[in-house]
Structure 1
Amino acid sequence: MQKFRSYFRFLRLVLRMQHQTEDVLQQHEIPLSWLKAKLTRQQFLILSGILVGLTTGFASVLLKTLVHKITVLITQDYHFRYQLMFYLIFPFTGIIITVLVVHFLFKDKDGKGIAAVLYEIAHKSAIVPAYKMYRQIIASALTVGFGGSAGLESPIAVTGAAIGSNYARTYQLPFKERTLLLAAGSAAGIASAFNAPIAGVMFSIEIILSGVVFSDFVPLIIASVSGTLVSKMILNEQILLHFNLQQSFDYRNTPFYLLLGICCGVYSRYYTVLALRLEHYFKRFKRHQYLRKAAIGGSILALSCFLFPPLFGDGYGFVKTLANQGPEQLMQISLFAPLVHHHWAILAFVGCIALVKVFATSATIFGGGSGGNFAPSLFAGAFVGYFFSRLMVDLHIFPLPVANFTIVGMAGVMSGILYAPLTSIFLIAEVTGGYELFIPLMIVSIVSYVIVRRFSHYSLELEEYVKEGKIFTRHYDSHILSMLQVKDLIDRSVPQVLPDTTLYQMLDLIQHDPHLFFAVVDEQHTLQGVVTFDDIKEIIFSQEKEKLNYKIKAFMHAPPTTIQVNENMNRVMEKFETTGSLYLPVFSGKQYLGFLSKSAILDAYRTTLKAYSQEA
């Protein structure tokens, strides 16, 4: 009972963050505003990078400590005969608790995923809602602390992005600086999670700032270093991911590293395809069915952990055991312990864990839990690397260093799932304490990345957002179009005429209105068609006056296509290019709103581009 009292006291401390975050910002606003006025832009950005990095570092420490404390509290005093039931009960309970907290405390506000942050950069001027500064900490601590098979890195990256964005909003920094500090917060989050400042910077450049032109990366580096220092000073190595190399790189193993890269690429594609299918399955549940969805997700997770206990939690402790001691230790706590002396059973055990990991992680995230694919990709990569190298050894093909292949496999699968080869390379290089494996890391990561790019140009988390035009890509022209909204450019002054209007009645309208096209509507203002000046000018200027009695409905025609008011501007421009039209009608559902002209879009594009260029 005492351990649960301690847990709830700690949880109450986290919940207070919801009310204290804005108070802390307000307390420091006056002195920092004074400094902003005294310092140059570059000096203030460096100071901002330090503050954002330190704050994110403390948030990262809080999150990882919370998860560690919860796990310790629920796992202590359990004897072996209860362990299997423990793996069945607690992961399920964690998903249910997380869903209830998110539903009642955060009113089902979505705060998950790096893709959501990229959407806010593209469509909300890099303004991240303030609740994301603490929402992910609470939800992820509950999910992963109780055994959810997900990572903490994505949540802390989102938390850091929210901290950087809201800091910039407090001091009214423009879009460029706001985006830079948002990325700095994410860099600090990743850096503090692994004590890997270079990996943090690479993550922000590869993922957060992908498709955004920047040349000022000093605040990113400062924030990343600051977050790492906080983590180093407070956390100990047992909570962090760290490895000591047992063997140096041998160039004779290079062909096998190439093969491992291929295996990592194939596995990454397997992981992505299944994750997407599971995501689509869980998306079928309606909003009010959140408990049913959580129960199904929790059941899949619990069954996975029951069969394969290493799937419990973020899995870093199990990865360290696998790399340093071998899978025999992991097998001892499972149902398959009697088979621990059969080396082929051990190899099958390792392979099954890698294959089932995607089910456990997807059930955790899409079932209502909170977490990301960062840690799962590293976890799965370690098991893929171990399986491959151990298979080569057991088949007497080549005496490979199993521990090294286990470590390098982490970078390969992470590169293939997250589409972040540079982050993967530098992360594993940093957590191993050096660059001894730099060459095999590059080989495996790049080969894996090239393979998955053959199937899709975007990662698991970003693909749907890219298809819908919700985030920036490396096609820079589309960025500006993404910033434009159809509702802001609708011409609602286009003249409306009834179908029975005569050409004679149109003469006065043509003389006093600058538009060269007219909307034909019925009594209920439902669009019936379009008439252009070119359609009727020949008759109007003819000598046969009796033709002026012709009704306009004889000349109207249907528009080649229509636009919805919430449609992405890139798709709108595709419609203009495909149809060759200069103007198209806009609807909200079935309700006619007005017309959108191609010239209005191009004018808005030029204006936005000019403002964006000056700011950048």
Structure 2
Amino acid sequence: MDLKIHVSKKNFYWIKWSKIIFCSVLIGFVVGLVTLMFKNLVEEYEHILFSKAQSTKVMFFVLPLMGLGLIYCLRLFVFHNRKNKGISEVLEAVHFKKKLPAYKIPSHFFNGFLTVIFGGATGIEVSTVVATAAMGDLASKKEPIFKKYKKEFMGAAVATGISILFCSPLAGFFFSYENIKKQNSNVFWISHAIGVSIAVLLMFLFDVQPLFELHFLPKIWHLQALPYFFIISLLAGIYGVYMTKIVLFSKQKFPFKNMPVLQFVTASILIGSILFVFPHLYGDGYHTLKSFTSPQTILTFSTGLLMVLVLIKPWITGITLAGGGDGGVFAPSIFGGACLGLMIGIIVKTYFYDDVVLINFVIMGIALTVSATLHAPFTAVFLTCGIFNNYSLILPLLIFVFVSFIVSKKIYPFTVYSISLQKQKR
């Protein structure tokens, strides 16, 4: 009798783990391929429409109106007038065991695509996170045994998507752990390991390149730069709070909340006005950051222009979201951090220490700002190293991301995403 019980338990565990592994593999491939297609489509069409706007300036006003108008029509006629709330939806699903409906998959992919390619100043990262989490949630409903591991499958799906976006499996893993749910179960480790491994395989098969290609690759960093890195970490901590506060303020105080058509038209006019003067902010802004990676173009940016871009970026992001655009502060943190880092680097190079390497300041600015804005220091380190495919600054990054993180959290203990979670807990 004991032998039968023992054998049945062995069979049960074998069936259980074989199903978990199979589901993790399936999630990895589906999420990885969909994210890869989504990323490539957005990059291609954003480039096409931005080129059109550059040649015909009036398009800076027309394109945001088209994008936000299409999003409004989709929400009204296809998604039953249900608004997207970003990563907050995922956190609520994980912490309060709420459902993440399947319609969130097409809703976030379509809305994220339309927002960014038509000039909305966000990015596709948040759209990817919510859509992939919804895929993980959907997979957990297919077998009774999977319902217990809903959080693990959602996290694994998110980790796979982020790994593809930033060419960094560690960034995907740590984002899921730091931002979605800190877990320590065998299913968590195995599902995430499978997900990010499949992401690496797909990046190899499809020859996925890092987001920014460095045309000059510094092999070393100077000890003399450490005090300046510390200054950037303090400023990035403050800037992370500034971005969070401005985005929340813009979303909450934007007029015409009960008149959605007037709301997205007003938002489109404001976005178009800003883009007309500062086209650097179009879409995710990565086209501007690519100029930072070349020694011929990095010095064409003045400190005055960089300061304006740093200050305006949270406002145009908040306006985009208030007008119905999809996204969050992921890409804006990368953009704002890069501009902040370069601005400090140029000031240091001009007045204090001529031998600084400006691209190092850009890299530090991105990591420290992402850490401050998302409250995710390890995600910030490996995300930044992944998008540049450069780990030469790993040591100072691992030190100073915690400075910006602590400064940010001491000033304001919430992120754009966790604030709604905290309100519900009350």
- For the criterion TM > 0.5, the same-fold answer is yes
Equivalent of 2:392 in 436, 442, 455:
436
- CA distance in 2 between partners of 1:330 and 1:51 (Å): 47
Q: What is the aligned partner in structure 1 of residue 269 from structure 2? A: 299
CA distance in 2, matches of 1:434, 1:201: 19
Map Cα deviations across residues 144-200 of structure 1 (whole Å, 9 max, x no partner). Answer: 111111111111111111111101101223444111001100101101111111110
Q: Could you tell me how far 1:301 is from its partner in structure 2? A: 1.5
User: Which one-letter code corresponds to 1:124 in the other structure?
Assistant: K
2:283 alignment partner, SS class: coil
Among candidates 57, 62, 83, match of residue 84 of structure 1: 57
Structure 1 residue 209 corresponds to structure 2 residue 181: yes
Q: Which of 99, 111, 115 lines up with 2:84 in the alignment?
A: 111
Whether 2:362 is the aligned partner of 1:406: answer: yes
- Partners of 1:247 and 1:386 lie apart in 2 by 18
- What RMSD, in angstroms, separates the aligned Cα atoms of the two structures? 2.4
Tell me whether 1:98 sits opposite 2:88 in the alignment.
no
Which letter does structure 2 place at the counterpart of 1:118? L
The question of whether the paired residues in 1 share the 8 Å contact of 2:241 and 2:412 is answered with no
* Residue number in structure 2 paired with 1:229: 201
| Distance of 1:46 and 1:376 partners within structure 2 | 36
Question: Counterparts of 1:538-549 in structure 2 under 5 Å?
Answer: none
- Measure, in 2, the Cα distance between the counterparts of 1:353 and 1:165: 38
Instruction: Tell me, in whole angstroms, the C-alpha distance in 1 between the residues paired with 2:338 and 2:413.
Output: 25
Aligned to 2:4: none
Match of 2:103 in 1: 131
1:14-42 deviations in whole A, cap 9, x for unaligned?
xxxxxxxxxxxxxxxxxxxxxx9894333
Tell me the equivalent position of 2:405: 449
Letter in 2 for 1:452: S
Partners of 1:418 and 1:283 in 2: CA distance = 27
Q: Indicate whether 1:373 and 2:329 are aligned.
A: yes
Q: In the alignment, what sits opposite 1:506?
A: none
% of aligned pairs identical? 25
Q: Aligned partner of 1:180: which letter?
A: E
CA distance in 2, matches of 1:258, 1:197: 27
Aligned mates of 1:406, 1:231 — CA distance in 2: 25
**Structure 1 position 272, deviation (Å):** 1.5
Using CA pairs under 8 Å that are at least 6 residues apart, name the structure with larger relative contact order, 1 or 2: 2
- Deviation per CA, 1:90-138, whole angstroms, max 9, x where unpaired? 123212222222222112223341111111122335x321111221111
Counterpart of 2:236, as a letter, is C
Contact residue 61 and residue 235 of structure 1 kept, 8 A: no
Provide the rounded CA distance (Å) in 1 between the counterparts of 2:70 and 2:388.
Answer: 36
Letter paired with 1:41: K
Between the aligned partners of 2:296 and 2:255, the Cα distance in structure 1 is 38
Q: Give the letter aligned to residue 87 of structure 1.
A: F
Identify the residue that residue 376 of structure 2 maps to in structure 1.
Answer: 420
CA shift for structure 1 position 461: 1.9
Where does 1:193-272 land on structure 2 (aligned, <5 Å)?
Answer: 193-210=165-182, 212=183, 214-215=185-186, 216-234=188-206, 236-237=208-209, 240-243=211-214, 245-272=217-244
Q: Spell out, residue by residue over 1:374-402, the C-alpha distance to the aligned partner (whole angstroms, 9 max, x if none).
A: 11111111000000110111123453211
Q: Give 1 or 2: higher helix fraction.
A: 2
Q: Secondary structure at the match of 1:468?
A: helix
Count how many residue pairs are aligned between Structure 1 and Structure 2: 414
- Residues of 2 paired with 1:328 and 1:409: CA distance? 15
Deviation at 1:214, TM superposition (A): 3.5
Give the match for residue 49 of structure 1: 24
- Asked if 2 retains the 8 angstrom alpha-carbon contact of 1:102 and 1:139, the reply is no
* Structure of greater Rg: 1
Which residue number corresponds to residue 58 of structure 1?
A: 33
Indicate the residue corresponding to 1:324 in structure 2.
Answer: 294
Q: Give 1:187's match in structure 2, choosing from 159, 162, 171.
A: 159
For the 8 Å contact 1:145–1:313, the answer to whether it is kept is yes
Tell me, in whole angstroms, the C-alpha distance in 2 between the residues paired with 1:67 and 1:268: 26
**SS of residue matched to 2:103:** helix
1:59 deviation in Å? 1.5
**2:50 and 2:119 in contact (8 A); partners too:** no
Letter of the 1:55 partner, please give it.
V
User: 1:411 touches 1:428 (CA, 8 Å); kept in 2?
Assistant: yes
**1:442 Cα deviation after fit:** 1.9
Structure 1 234/101 Cα, relative in aligned 2: closer, same or farther at 3 Å?
farther
1:311-347 deviation line (CA, Å, top 9, x unaligned): 001122221212324656876xxxxxxxxxxxxxx21
Name the counterpart of 1:69: 44
Letter matched to residue 468 of structure 1: Q
**Residue in 1 that maps onto 2:310:** 354
**Mapped contact 2:20–2:146 kept (Cα < 8 A):** no
Distance apart, 1:303 and its partner CA:
1.6
Equivalent in the alignment of 2:3: none
| Contact 1:272–1:417 under 8 Å retained in 2 | yes
Distance 2:393 2:298 in 1: 26
Residue 242 (structure 1) shift? 4.6
- Counterpart residue type for residue 63 of structure 1: F
Q: Which secondary structure state, in structure 1, belongs to the residue aligned with residue 416 of structure 2?
A: coil
Worse-superposed segment, 300-309 or 106-115:
106-115
What does the per-residue CA deviation read over 1:500-555, in whole Å, with 9 as the maximum and x for residues that have no partner?
xxxxxxxxxxxxxxxxxxxxxxxxxxxxxxxxxxxxxxxxxxxxxxxxxxxxxxxx
Distance in 2, Cα, partners of 1:295 & 1:225: 44
Question: Which AA in structure 2 matches 1:67?
Answer: V
In the TM superposition, what is the alpha-carbon distance from 1:253 to its structure 2 partner?
1.4
Whole-angstrom CA distance in 2 between matches of 1:79 and 1:459: 33
- Among 287, 300, 310, which residue is 2:280 paired with? 310
